[in-house]
Structure 1
Amino acid sequence: MSSKGSRQSWTSRFLRAFLAAGLIGIPALALSPTQAAAQGPYRFQNVAIGGGGGFISGIVFSQTAPDVVYARTDIGGAYRFDSETGRWIPLLDWIGSSDWNLMGVESIAIDPKDSRRIYVETGTYSNDWTTQNGAILRSSNQGHTFDRIDLPFKVGGNMPGRGMGERLAIDPNNNQILYLGARSGHGLWRSLDMGQTWAQVAGFPDSGPYHEPIAYPGDTYDADPIGVVWETFDPRTTITVAGVKVSKNIYVGVADPASSLWQSNDGGQTWTAVAGQPTGLMPHHGKLSSTGVLYLSYNNNAGPYDGSAGDVWKYDTGSQVWSRITPPTSPLSGGYGFGGLSVDAKNPNAVVVASLNQWWPDVQFFRTLDGGNNWSLIWNANWSNPWPIIMAPNYSIDISAAPWLTFGRTPATCTSATSSNSSCPAPTPNVGWMVDALEIDPFNSNHMLYGTGATMYGIDNLTAWDNGGKVGIYVAANGIEETSVLDLISPPAGPAHLISEVGDIGGFTHNDLTKPSVMDSNPVFTAGTSADFAELNPSFVVRVGAGGTNNENIAFSSDGGQTWVPANSQPGGASAGTVAAAADGSRVVWSCGPGVYVSADRGNTWTASSGVPAGASVRSDRVNPLKFYAFANGAFYNSTDGGQTFAATAAGNLPPAGASAQFKAAPGHEGDIWLVSSTSWAVSGVWHSLDGGVSFEKLSGVDAGTTIGFGKPAPHHTYPALYSSALVAGVWGIYRSDDAGSTWTRINDDQHQYGMTMVAITGDPRIYGRVYFTTNGRGIIYGDPVASTH
């Protein structure tokens, strides 16, 4: 998932914190099965943020079967489109926490002879953020079930260049044969048995050594070589190799500005650089038309964030003639390269290509009907200095399926009719950004899908562009929920049962879990990191984040999150962190970058708290308005004067410095605190305090926990139900305890694991059994007992 213009997304930065703390990759500890009760029947589904939320890095249509299309995301798995319901179906929710790295998808291939058979190349990071190699997931039933083949190298679904591709390709003349482009210097690989076994292609001469500019010393993310990025076959040509018929002519794109296009004219036995090719750039995509013309979009960087120069070329594979067909310069633009590219299967001279990245005022699309001799633009514009822009769009856009795509701004089209609007420096909503995925439906020349850094858009009247009409752009991501969620709260009263803080796109107040949400604004955060409500006055809500409008990184609500106002002031350099509201809403404590601060007047003034280190996680007592708690570096702190001063308690059996832990105070019980950790054997588990953190007792029967939350008590119980993403009896899962932690019931199953669920969890204080939990790329999941009658 990727934030507009940032080098690494907030998702990636947050994950790095977990990796540094050793929170990921906990060994499965074997304990007696009697310590975990049998799993209960639950129904899980997404809270509807609506239409994406992250980078759609690839879209793959079947070339032989209509209405068969898949999408890949950088951290949120793969999806199949269901043409009957009009929704995208997630395919990888069965991936568990020990395999969280496999939720990133770098490539998808559909068998050209059997459209039910698909291959998914999975793996999120190819640098040192994980020790896990990638895998090929094979399915013969459209992704209902998979078998897994582990690869001998890492895969980078969330690494630079992830929009290039597809790296995984199937020979259209022999579906036993697959090719796979690897990263990190591992070159080109081939399978002769439908992906069961793989071997590096001997003699392929270029490993794709280019890497992105290194951002800081020790930057392994940008330093990893991008590698071999795509393969395409000429289905018109065949040759027999070792008694097997295969495609004769194969073309391979690599991340090597010196020589980026390679070909084989003997079925992959030998390889040569294509003569006369452009240099200094890299081909993001290479698409072969039905007449044997290879169209290529070039960029001087791997993307998806960057790219300041590029070209579009075509190579006639028959005559071996190169032609530069770069579209005319987009108006109002700085430098940009080219990313997404598609050739109409029914018209080999009809091509659409996207700029990458033209950040301002919007991405540009170019279309040609004559093989690149002439191009039309999806928008034209001029401007008066400094504003307004006057745009002439050849499109209309409908975001009703995802209203948050305005990012809190007032919708504006910036046409001549609104030219007096000085607040219109760019259209709202945007047509997109980071467009590396772009595909025309091979069975319908009017239908095109493209991915952006926030969602997927569709067009159903593409050829109207050719007749002077406007194409209709709409959100085509129904069912895709790809947010990385950083905090959740569920107030006991008010219009919203759930408020979320989300990496890369701020946060939401969810008045209806089933309908698209409107982004919280005034201010809008680049990333929301923490929220809290006053337990005894739940209409009072506070949230914090980073990258806020006008550098405002804290906001208050007096109506349960329906409206927000920023604080009148904030500590210098304050950003992100955690926030805690007093039980009655009389004050808030904010742990942010510079330190820990308290305000008793809704942010008009701030006082530095003493006795607690910067970076501590802070929480409030849910009964006593003057009590606050903090945890940092293995020590627990409490405050009895409203957060002005903290003191370390004598509790000495807690996770030590460097360990990652989470804690919360229980509603309705003063001084009642739960703390969880899953860093290692010695410091993993669940701890409980009844004296405000002065002492903690470690529970038996829970091996590790990453989150803790509270919900409505079970019938005939008075203590809140506990929820945790935890390891019990050697099994990671989502667990509930109705008896204050004495016994735990796993409430999810092996088909509903969602990869990484270790950031936040909460029950609903109004609905017994309902649980909300975060994922890293699959949005917010909520579950209800199947037999629930609420």
Structure 2
Amino acid sequence: MPPTPHFSRRALLAAGASAAAFPLLGPTASARAASARTATSARCAPYTFRNAEIVGGGFVPGIIFNQSEPGLVYARTDIGGAYRFDTAAKRWIPLTDWIGWDEYGHTGIISIATDEVDPDRVYLAAGTYTNPDWDPNPAAILRSSDRGRSWQTTRLPFRLGGNMPGRGIGERLAVDPSGNRILYLGVRGGYGLWRSTDYGKTLAQVTNFPNVGNFTPDPTDTSGYSNDNLGVLQVLFDKRTGKAGRATRTLYVTVADTDNILYRSTDAGATWARVPGQPTGYIPHKAVFDHVGGYLYLATSNTAGPYDGSKGDVWKLDTANDTWTCISPVPSTSDNDTFGYSGLTIDRQNPNTLMVSTQVDWYPDCILFRSTDGGASWTRAWDWGTYPDRTLRYDMDISTAPWLAWNASPSLPEMAPKLGWMMESVEIDPSDSGHFLYGTGATIYGADNLTDWDSGATVHLTVRAQGLEETSVGCVISPPTGAAHLFSGVGDVGGFRHTDLHKAPKMYDTPTFGATPALDYAQLAPHVIVRVGSPTSGWTQHFAISTDSGDTWTPSGSEPSGVTGPGVDDQAVAVSADGKRIVWSPAGAPVSWSSDSGATWTASTGLANGVPVRSDRVNPAKFYAYDAGVFYVSTDGGNRFTATAATGLPTSGNVRFKPAPGHEGDIWLAGGTSKSTTPTPYGLWRSTDSGASFTRSDAVDEGDVVGFGKAAPGASYPAVYTSSKINGVRGIFRSDDAGRSWIRINDDRHQYAWTGNTMTGDPRVYGRVYFGTNGRGVIYGDTK
């Protein structure tokens, strides 16, 4: 079964297990087994895969520089895996594309640790949700000794929350900078502090650590998303107390407990004590230790984040005498403090220089603060002029990701693009005072002239997310004509018309959608394209149409009565083969049709609300629908639907169907579920009689999505693509003979976790396939 997309969300530990050590369960044992089966069950074709570039698109809660090797830096995302920066290419390299379908939750990275003793070693704490209904697998430590080129997996007896409240806190993973065989992990859900003494091969709970935390974002939430204890948050080492090859003696641990936020050990973790005099009232988000001056800096907030936070402080602890000083740029006692603090960093070349960010300040913008005197005084990235004007210490270049302006034209004091939001990771390069990076809810920004800030000169911010693609993709289409080969509908950032797959385009506009679950084009008049989405930037319409191949768009003149949303998936809207009829299945309203480009709508009969709809690709009068095992057909342009006699189809699970181009009444249907609580037929079916009957493919064990592309040379039927399990092997497959045989076209290094949402071939390029992921953007593959 696929994951609950993007916004989704408990924990499991057998009694007494917390004191045990948990061993390695093998790098990619399942992948190796799958490879062995592939040789005998399905042919493989050589392919290359890469992203259709959007450049960013999602929350980057962690940027982690190695403290000893210049240029070595990693980034983590909440649903899209981890990346390493390639300094030569100036691009991020994805490190977790090998994660497969069955362990899709391991693409939610809650923390990264890079080893400064042996920079080849890197560790990921992986697991997206604590609710087992959303993420059935427990979490894992993924460990690499070659900078992420290959991985081994240590299973954990609990779950983590890479896409849950508090995911910007920390880092929760830390490698001892002296005895690098030692690895610590702070765990949520009441499981405390864990430690490895063998480079992450096994971990055991530090049973004498005194506090497992008690802060829950929303104790009344019953979904499992916001009622989970944030737990133990971060581990810091005082490197002055370490010797090469031995455990560092003094370390600090932050905890999600508003009365007890900081603990210390001076005997390498044998005993622990609450640091005296500490502040109370807020929870720690980021802590940084100054190994030169012996100061510990702490940024706090009143919420878990990342979307909220309205009060907080920044503190400085002199560890020589346990003296605390509040150094907040805007103290929580001030009426001007309407934000918590989160992103926190110091300049390792000049440790009295530090920066901190507001956790979130939606209006008019987040703020970066900078101090060059250890927090005694601060300057701001922007300040107020004569209201509503603002004065800026920076400029921003978003030319490589122009969509970051969100098609917005705000009134001052707001600006587009914004400096950022959800800015929980702000990092000054430890080997270069002028270079810094910070993550936002949509991208990474950075500058190479940061120190110009201190002289009053302008800091030049540019997009630094090239190669990092983190979007949840709702739909992809590829029309047979027009300048663009690819159109995508994307969660959070609307969607894109790609005329160049190697360049980030602008976001759809007129109207602008925050998410686009569905697109369709008219097969015989492909310049007609429709899309539905969630309106933003002042728009109210959920529907738009283009009659010039997506170059311009027109919002609908009306909507079906009761519409509350665009619809649930990529089957929410369909346009007839000739482009003259549209059938829309929105949320909150009946399935409806329009024959005037959305100016007026008429309710269809015969269907419940919210059912998936598609159009026949040859006959303009035919539309199809599917609901809980029943297939429907309309022969009058969507006015009336009637159930067909087809049987044996899945009655639950995610079901996606698609009519084949060039063949009237030819429909492929994939879906079902093997979950023990709701088992149902799960596979791939085909109908050649407009849904009156379907025949199941014997080779397909589990079918999830299907698409069509240009026919193979000499073939008359379109190439068929699917994300499925075929003859026991899970993968991306192509058939050049209408499903009689299948070729696996991906490999174990290119699995992209969950790929069951949307897929299409390119009708103009044989062998090319496009598919959506839940966190790695739009992937396309070409034959080698």
For the aligned pair, the TM-score class normalised by the smaller chain equals: over 0.9
Q: Percent identity?
A: 50
Q: 1:292 to 1:517 in 2, by over 3 A?
A: same
Alignment of 1:602-681 (within 5 A): 602-656=597-651, 658-680=652-674
2:41 aligned with 1:46: no
Change (3 A) 1:83 1:32: closer
Instruction: Show CA shifts across 1:735-769 (max 9, x none).
Output: 00111111110001111101111100000001110
Q: State the Cα deviation string for residues 453-506 of structure 1 (Å, max 9, x = none).
A: 000001111111111111111101111011110100000101110100001111
Q: Deviations over 1:652-699 (max 9, x none)?
A: 11101x332100011111111100014127511111111111111111
1:781 aligns with 2:770: no
Normalised by the length of structure 2, the TM-score is: 0.92
Q: Deviations over 1:45-70 (max 9, x none)?
A: 100112x1100010111111111111
Establish whether residue 83 from structure 1 lines up as the match of residue 87 from structure 2.
yes
Change (3 A) 1:239 1:458: closer
Q: Partner of 2:453: helix, strand, or coil?
A: helix
Cα displacement (A) at 1:120: 1.2
Which residue of structure 2 aligns with residue 595 of structure 1? Answer: 590
Q: Whole-Å Cα distance in 2 between the matches of residues 732 and 310 of structure 1? A: 48
**Counterpart-to-counterpart distance in 2, 1:613 and 1:314:** 60
Secondary structure in structure 2 of the residue aligned to 1:598: strand
Alpha-carbon distance in 1 for matches of 2:375, 2:102: 48
1:291 aligns with 2:286: no
Distance 2:706 2:563 in 1: 30
658-667 vs 720-729, which deviates more?
A: 658-667
Partner-residue secondary structure (3-state), 2:636: coil
Kept in 2, the 8 Å contact 1:35–1:729? The answer is no
User: Do the aligned partners of 1:770 and 1:784 also contact (CA within 8 Å) in 2?
Assistant: yes
SS at match of 1:675: strand
Aligned pairs (5 A) from 1:675-754:
675-680=669-674, 682-754=680-752
Correspondence 1:267-346 to 2 at 5 A: 267-289=268-290, 290-328=292-330, 335-346=338-349
119-128 or 433-442: bigger deviation: 119-128
- Aligned equivalent of 2:208: 203
Give deviations 1:247-304, integer Å, cap 9, x for gaps. Answer: 1211101111121111112211111111111111011011011211001100001111
Structure 1 Cα separation of the partners of residues 495 and 670 of structure 2? 25
What amino acid sits opposite 2:358 in the alignment?
Answer: S
Deviates more, 1:535-544 or 1:259-268: 259-268
CA displacement at 1:715 relative to structure 2 = 0.6
SS of residue in 1 equivalent to 2:539: helix
- Give the corresponding residue for 2:762: 764
**AA matched with 1:694:** A
Change (3 A) 1:305 1:559: same
Change in CA separation of 1:525 and 1:125 when aligned onto 2, cut-off 3 Å? same
What secondary structure, in the 3-state scheme, does the structure 2 residue paired with 1:704 have?
A: strand
Shift of 1:148: 1.1
Which residue is 2:265 aligned to?
A: 264
1:563 equivalent in structure 2: 552
Q: 1:314-353 CA distances to partner (integer Å, 9 max, x unpaired)?
A: 1011121000001037999771100100011011211100
Counterpart of 2:75 in structure 1 is: 71
Residue number in structure 2 paired with 1:5: none
Whether 2:526 is the aligned partner of 1:527: answer: no
771-780 vs 574-583, greater mean Cα deviation: 574-583
Residue type of the alignment partner of 2:769:
V
Structure 2 SS opposite 1:707 = strand
1:508 aligns with 2:496: yes
What CA distance in whole angstroms lies between the structure 2 residues aligned with 1:270 and 1:595?
64
Is residue 171 from structure 1 mapped to residue 176 from structure 2 by the alignment? Answer: yes
Mapped to 2, the partners of 1:334 and 1:313 lie a distance apart of 15
SS at match of 1:531: strand
Mapped partners of 2:95, 2:36: distance in 1: 31
How far 1:409 moved relative to its partner? Answer: 2.1
Task: Show the counterpart of 1:418.
Answer: none
Once the two structures are superposed, residues 222-249 of structure 1 have per-residue CA deviations (whole angstroms, 9 ceiling, x without a partner) of: 0111111100000001489xxx832121
* Contact 2:330–2:336 (8 Å) recurs in 1: no
Residue ranges of structure 2 left out of the alignment (5+ in a row): 11-29
- Aligned to 2:767, the other structure's residue is in SS state strand
Shift of 1:550: 2.1
TM-score normalised by structure 1 residue count: 0.92
- In 2 relative to 1, CA 607–425 (structure 1 residues): closer, same or farther, beyond 3 Å? farther
Letter in 2 for 1:531: L
Whole-Å separation in 2 of the counterparts to 1:148 and 1:660: 29
Where does the alignment leave 5 or more consecutive residues of structure 1 unmatched? 1-7, 17-25, 413-422
Paired AA for residue 711 in structure 1: G
Q: How far apart in 2 are the matches of 1:239 and 1:113?
A: 12
Decide whether the 8 Å contact of 1:701 with 1:729 is kept in 2.
yes
Contact 2:79 2:108 in 1 (8 A): yes
Mapped to 1, the partners of 2:38 and 2:458 lie a distance apart of 63
1:234 corresponds in structure 2 to 238
Partners of 1:131 and 1:168 in 2: how far apart?
A: 22
Closer/same/farther in 2, CA of residues 30 and 447 from structure 1, 3 Å limit: closer
Cα distance between partner residues in 2 of 1:317 and 1:678:
59
Equivalences for residues 5-16 of structure 1 within 5 A:
11-12=6-7
Alignment deviations for residues 610-644 of structure 1 (CA, whole Å, 9 cap, x no partner): 11011200000111111110111221111111111
Q: Is 1:390 aligned with 2:356?
A: no
Q: CA RMSD in A?
A: 2.2
Q: Distance in 2 between matches of 1:94 and 1:486?
A: 22
* Cα distance in 1 for residues equivalent to 2:147 and 2:707: 36
Given that 1:94 and 1:750 are in contact with CA atoms closer than 8 Å, whether structure 2 keeps it comes out as yes
Tell me the CA shift for residue 381 of structure 1: 2.0
Equivalent pair of 2:97/2:753 in contact (CA under 8 Å): yes
